[in-house]
Chains A and B, each alone.
Chain A
Amino acid sequence: MTEFAETFEPHIASIADESIREDVAEALRFIHGFPTEVVSEEKANKGLPKMRKQALNGTLSVIARRGKISALRDAAVLISAEQLVNILARVYESTERQTAERQSPAAILSQLEPTHIGDSPKRIGLRRTEESVGGRPRLR
């Protein structure tokens, strides 16, 4: 069992377009925590139900000829939709556009005027507004 990024990193060099290669390499640097199993085509053909179950439980399967990735075009990935969304979200977070927009959250404070309000009550009345127990069972 390896990690998704670790599995594909050695093969990035085979991407012909340099700009795409750099983007993919950068994206892979941010993708961690996705356990990955490389299986042969033969094993995949026989064990698809098991692989599907594994994918739904969070382990990606990479189907490669003879169980070894010799070129990217020889590998296919079986992945659950949830894992795919997780990967996309992590890549999105790390993109240049996203990081370029990173601003201090406190910048907005300069637009707020200081107030002079006493300390009581400290907490706002969310807790007083209504019930705490018994939503759905009381519905009719």
Chain B
Amino acid sequence: MSHFLLSTQTLFDISRRQNLPAERWLEGAAGRGIYKDDIAVSAVALMSIEQEVNKRINDAAQQTSDGGKSRVYELHKLLSNAKILFKNYVEDQRVINVDGAICERWGWLLETKITFEDQDGKPYDIGSVQKLEIACAIIGRNNIKFTYVDNARDAAGAISDLVMERPIEMFPDGTT
């Protein structure tokens, strides 16, 4: 049985509740024999989403148009969704906290330049928060590693011991 760690981006996409590939991946999980207790998130996920959404809310609030107000409203809904989702993982003890082994792996990752490709094939260097998530996935819990669920691709194969699953590949737009 595989265990899965949802990236912050995946959690964000699910929170949007717009039938994106991440949401369809979650919907299709039970059909593949993946259940609630097989899926975890990292402890930094909600903080990262809050930071991002609050920034977008501040940007949208600068706009005086109705479009700006509407966007602020929708972003608040998204944040509320993310909190409900995260709370669900907390209640089931499916949040991976950072321990010594994860920190040690994170330290090695921090010293390495790692370039991923996003879902549109655009390269980007991953930052320390995502490296921490990846360290959580590699170290896992109870000696069971996680498959890291994210739409990005480790195109250069820089992290040889990271197993990834890409919702966008499995459930591309336009499919159910």
* A interface residues, Cβ below 8 angstroms from B: 82, 85-86, 89, 92-93, 98, 101-109, 111-118, 122-137
Shortest C-beta distance, A55 to chain B (Å), equals 16
**In contact, A113 and B111 (Cβ under 8 angstroms):** no
**In contact, A112 and B12 (Cβ under 8 angstroms):** no
**In contact, B35 and A103 (Cβ under 8 angstroms):** yes
- Is B157 close to A, CB under 8 A? no
**In contact, B23 and A127 (Cβ under 8 angstroms):** no
**In contact, A117 and B18 (Cβ under 8 angstroms):** yes
Q: Which residue of A lies closest to B29 (CB)?
A: A105
**In contact, A126 and B112 (Cβ under 8 angstroms):** no
**In contact, B17 and A113 (Cβ under 8 angstroms):** yes
Chain B, 1-40, CB within 8 A of any chain A CB: 1, 8-9, 12, 14-18, 23, 26-27, 29-30, 34-39
Of the four ranges (under 10, 10 to 19, 20 to 34, 35 or more), the interface on chain B belongs to 35 or more
A to B CB contacts below 8 Å, 21 in the list: A89-B142, A103-B36, A105-B26, A112-B15, A112-B17, A112-B84, A113-B80, A114-B17, A114-B18, A116-B70, A116-B74, A117-B16, A118-B71, A123-B119, A123-B124, A126-B129, A129-B129, A131-B127, A132-B126, A135-B110, A135-B128
Across-interface contacts of A98 in B (CB, < 8 A): 37
- Is B99 close to A, CB under 8 A? no
Shortest C-beta distance, A54 to chain B (Å), equals 19
**In contact, A105 and B143 (Cβ under 8 angstroms):** no
* B interface residues, Cβ below 8 angstroms from A: 1, 8-9, 12, 14-18, 23, 26-27, 29-30, 34-39, 48-49, 51-52, 55, 70-71, 74-75, 77-78, 80-81, 84-85, 88, 107, 110-114, 118-120, 124-130, 142-144, 152
Q: Which residue of A lies closest to B35 (CB)?
A: A102
A133 to B128: give the CA distance in the assembly, Å.
Answer: 9
**In contact, A127 and B130 (Cβ under 8 angstroms):** yes
**In contact, B127 and A126 (Cβ under 8 angstroms):** yes
Shortest C-beta distance, A79 to chain B (Å), equals 14
**In contact, B9 and A124 (Cβ under 8 angstroms):** yes
- The answer, among B30, B49, B84, B120, for a CB contact under 8 Å with A106, is B30
The 3 A-B pairs at the shortest CB distance, nearest first, are namely A135-B110, A132-B125, A102-B35
Given contacts A112-B84, A132-B127, whether A125 and B55 have CB atoms under 8 Å apart is yes
**In contact, A115 and B18 (Cβ under 8 angstroms):** yes
Across-interface contacts of B18 in A (CB, < 8 A): 114-117
Q: Which residue of A lies closest to B27 (CB)?
A: A106
A92 to B143: give the CA distance in the assembly, Å.
Answer: 13
Given contacts A102-B36, A108-B84, whether A124 and B8 have CB atoms under 8 Å apart is yes
Shortest C-beta distance, A33 to chain B (Å), equals 12
Given contacts A126-B9, A136-B110, whether A117 and B75 have CB atoms under 8 Å apart is yes
